[in-house]
Chains A and B, each alone.
Chain A
C-alpha cells in the first residue's frame, strides 16, 4: 500500500517537450510544495500549466512521448512509480467519469490500486460523503449535472486516498451553482484529508481565499511569481490580467450598454410558446417573450431550465412544440415569418447562431475557407467574398491563422472564429449559446467588446448566459427561465424526472372543419404527433396553406412532414 498523508512535490529545473514539437511546453521550473500546502497555479494560456500538472500526476508517459529535463518528484520518487498517491481531476465533467454507475465509478480507482474488495464499499461511502454527493450508488452517472459529475470525479480520486489533489480548471465548464458546489466539496475534502492541493483556475476569485500560495508559470520558461495570493496579485496583477487571469479586484474596463427601451420594436416574438429539444419531451411551456430589435437579450436560468433549447428555437433551428416564434415583418422568408420554416439559406442572412461548442459548426479545413462558406452559399462573387473574409480576419485578429485548421485553434480562437463565421453573412439577429463558456479574461473581453460593437451597429443579439457580468455589459435585458409560468417539469437531466407521456391520438385523425371560435391553445406537453383529441376546441391550422380548422396543434414535426398533409386533406 502506498503511504498516506499529504505529499511534498519538488521540481528542480523541470521541463517537458512533447515528441514532435520543436519548443518545450514548459521548461526550467523549480519549486517545492510542502505537504498540505494549497497552491493556485496560474499563467498565460499555453504556458504549460496543464503539462506541469500532468507531470506531477505522472501521466506524461515515457521517453517516446516526449523529452524530460530536470526532475519532478512526489515525496522524493517519480509519480509514475506511485500511482494513487496523486489524484487528478480534469476540466471537462464528461471526461472524468469512467463507469456508468455512481458507486462503480468511485470504486474504479480503488480496484485498480488493488485495494481489497472488502474494504472498497467503506472507501466509496467515505469519498461520496466527503464531497457531499448524496445519491444512490446505482444512480446512472449520465443523469448527474455538470457540478455533480465533477464532484463524482473528485470522489473517485479521494477514494484512492491520495496525498496530492491536482485540479485542472475544475469549474471552468460549470454554471455558478456548479462552481459553488465543487468549490465547497473541495474545501471540505481538503480540510478532511489534509492533502496537498494544486489548482489551475482562471477565475481566481472563487479560489483565492482557499489558497495559501500562488505560483505563476512564465510563457518563456521559469516561474514569474511565487508567494501568498495577496502579495502576488498586488505585484503582478496587471501582467496576470493581460495574460488572461481574472485577478481579484481588477474590473473589466468596458462600458455597460444602456438597457433597451421598453417600447422597442420586437425582432422576434412568441406567445404561449412550448419548446422541445427532441420533438417529444416539452422542456418549457407557456413562454411569452419578445426580443427587442437592435439590443441584447440574455436568456438566463438554472441548469436544465431549457435555455439552449429556447435559443435554438428562437434561432429557427428547432421547431416549436406549441405556439409560434414570429420574426419582424421585413425578415419574412418565402414560407412566412416563422424562422423554423425558413430554408437553411434564408436563415443564413436572417439569424446567425453561435453554438456552445464551436467545433460543432466548423465545416472547412482552413480558417479562411470556414469564413467563406456562408457568403459562397448565398451566391456572393469571389472578389466580394475575399473582401468580407479579409475584413473579418483583421477585425477578429485571426489573420495570422488564416491557413490553420479550425480544429487546431485554441479555445479563445475557436470562439472568435465561430462568431466570425456568423458575422460573415451579416444577419440582423445573432443568437449565441454560452459565448463566454470556458473563456479566460482576454477571450471574455474580446467577445463582449465584439458583441457591443455589433449591437451599436444595429444587430439584435440573443445570448444564453449564466454570467452576470455579460448581462451587465450588454444592457441587462433578460428572459429569465428560472421564474415565470412553466411546466411543472423538472429539467431534462434532473434526477428522478418522470417524462411526460406523449399524448396519444385517440379521436379522429382528419381535420375537423369547425365553425368554432378563435384559436385556443393549451400548454400541455405533447407527443411526437400533435394530436390532442382530448381537447375539444380546434383551431385554425397554422401548418399549411390550407386554412382549415384543425384539431391538430402546432406539432414538433416540421411542416413538410407528409403526415401533416394527409391529416389536413379534408378541408
Chain B
C-alpha cells in the first residue's frame, strides 16, 4: 500500500522514472536476499514444505520473507525519493537555520564532503603507483588496506588544512553568523509533511482493515 502511494509521488519529486529505477537497483537486489534468509531461517509454522538441517521453508517463513522484502522496499523508496534531488548545500542551510543544528558542525561536514572527489583521485593514483612499483600483481587485499591507511593520512591532513582555511575566513570566530542563503519553511513543506503522514496513516489503516497489522516486535 505504502509502496503504491510512494510510487505515485515520483512525479512530484521531479526525478525521472528511469533514474529512480537505477538508484533502486541495489535495493531491488538486496531485498530478495533479506527475504531468502527469512525464508530459510525464520521460525517454522504451518505447513512445512522443505527442510534441510536448520533451513526450513514453511507457511510462516514464506509470509515473513515476502513481508521483509516489501518492508525493505517501502523504507528505501521514500529515502531515495526524498534525497534524490536534495542539494547538500541547501540541506545544510536548512539543518542549521530551520532545524537549528549547530552551524559549526553542519558547515564542517558540508565542507568535508566536498573533498570526497579528491580522495577518489588519490585512490586511483595510488592504484597506478602500486602497479608501477611492482606490487600490483598480487595481494589485492593487503594492497587495499595499505591504500586505505594512506587515504586516512591524507584525510587527516586535508582536514587540518581545510580547518585552517575555514578559520582564516572567520569560521568559528564567535560572531553570530548571518546566512546569505536564507532557508525558511514554506506552505509546501507543510503539504509534504501532511502527505507523508497521510501515506503512513493509509498504509496502517489498510493493514488494520485487512487484519494483518502487527506492531514492530510482534
Contacts and interface: CB of A to CB of B under 8 A. Distances in A.
B114 A347 contact: no
A315 B132 contact: yes
A297 B115 CA distance: 34
B173 A95 contact: no
A186 interface: no
Interface string A138-160: 00011000000000010011001
20 contacts: A84-B173, A87-B169, A99-B89, A99-B111, A104-B89, A107-B180, A108-B166, A111-B179, A112-B171, A112-B172, A112-B177, A113-B175, A114-B177, A141-B114, A142-B114, A156-B169, A353-B128, A363-B130, A374-B133, A374-B134
B131 A59 contact: no
Contact of A113 (B117, B133, B167, B173): B173
A83 interface: yes
Nearest first, the 5 A-B pairs at minimum CB distance are A344-B136, A348-B134, A112-B170, A109-B169, A95-B161
B105 to A, nearest CB: 14
Interface stretch (B26-34, B58-66, B118-126): B118-126
Contacts of B10: none
A398 interface: no
Contacts of A22: none
Interface of A: 54, 57, 59, 83-84, 87-88, 90, 92, 94-101, 104, 107-117, 120-121, 124, 141-142, 153, 156-157, 160, 312, 315, 317-318, 343-345, 347-348, 351-353, 355, 357, 359-363, 373-374, 377-378, 407, 421, 425
Given A99-B110, A112-B175, A117-B182, 8 more contacts: A90-B168, A98-B114, A114-B175, A114-B178, A353-B129, A353-B132, A355-B125, A360-B129
Interface in B141-175: 146, 150, 153-154, 158, 161-162, 164-173, 175
A114 B165 CA distance: 18
Contacts of B169: 87, 98, 108-109, 112, 156-157, 160
Contacts of B135: 344, 363, 373, 377
B114 A97 contact: yes
Interface string B16-45: 000000000000000000000000000000
A558 to B, nearest CB: 11
Given A361-B129, A374-B134, A88 B179 contact: no
A88 B168 contact: yes
A425 B134 contact: yes
B176 interface: yes
B117 to A, nearest CB: 6
B195 interface: no
A351 to B, nearest CB: 8
A360 B126 contact: yes
A90 B164 contact: yes
B137 interface: yes
Secondary structure at the B interface, as helix, strand, loop or mixed, is helix
A391 B169 CA distance: 48
A360 B118 CA distance: 13
A347 B130 CA distance: 11
A317 B131 contact: yes
Contact of B173 (A83, A347, A355): A83
Interface in B92-110: 110
Nearest to B110: A99
A84 B170 contact: yes
Contacts of B172: 112
B181 interface: yes
The number of chain B residues touching the other chain, given as a range, is 35 or more
Nearest to A112: B170
A359 B150 contact: yes
A362 B132 CA distance: 11
Contacts of B170: 83-84, 109, 112-113, 160
Nearest to A407: B153
A345 B137 contact: yes
Contacts, number: 159
Contacts of A124: 180
A355 B181 contact: no
Contacts of A361: 126, 129-130, 132-133
Residue from B154, B161, B180, B182 whose CB has the most chain A CB atoms within 10 Å: B180
A104 B181 contact: yes
Nearest to B166: A98
B132 A352 contact: yes
A421 B133 contact: yes
A115 B150 CA distance: 40
A379 to B, nearest CB: 11
B88 A83 contact: no
B126 to A, nearest CB: 5
A197 B110 CA distance: 31
Contact of B178 (A54, A111, A407, A421): A111
A479 B178 CA distance: 52
B61 to A, nearest CB: 37
Interface string B176-202: 111111100000000000000000000
B86 to A, nearest CB: 13
Nearest to B162: A95
Contacts of B134: 344-345, 347-348, 373-374, 377-378, 425
Contacts of A57: 168
Contacts of B165: 88, 90, 95-98, 153
A359 to B, nearest CB: 7
Contacts of B182: 117
A377 B132 CA distance: 12
Contacts of B166: 98, 108
A57 to B, nearest CB: 6
A59 B165 CA distance: 10
Given A100-B89, A373-B133, A373-B135, A312 B128 contact: yes
A95 B125 contact: no
A343 B158 contact: no
Contacts of A111: 177-180
B24 to A, nearest CB: 23
Contacts of A117: 178-180, 182
Given A114-B176, A142-B117, A362-B150, A347 B131 contact: yes
Contacts of B131: 317, 344, 347
Contacts of B128: 312, 317-318, 353, 355
B132 A347 contact: yes
Contact of B89 (A101, A343, A353): A101
Contacts of A373: 133-135
A107 B89 CA distance: 13
Contact of A360 (B115, B122, B177): B122
B114 A343 contact: no
Contacts of A101: 89
A83 B179 contact: no
Nearest to B135: A377
A110 B89 CA distance: 17
A247 to B, nearest CB: 29
Nearest to A364: B146
Contacts of A360: 122, 125-126, 129, 150
Contacts of B129: 353, 355, 360-361
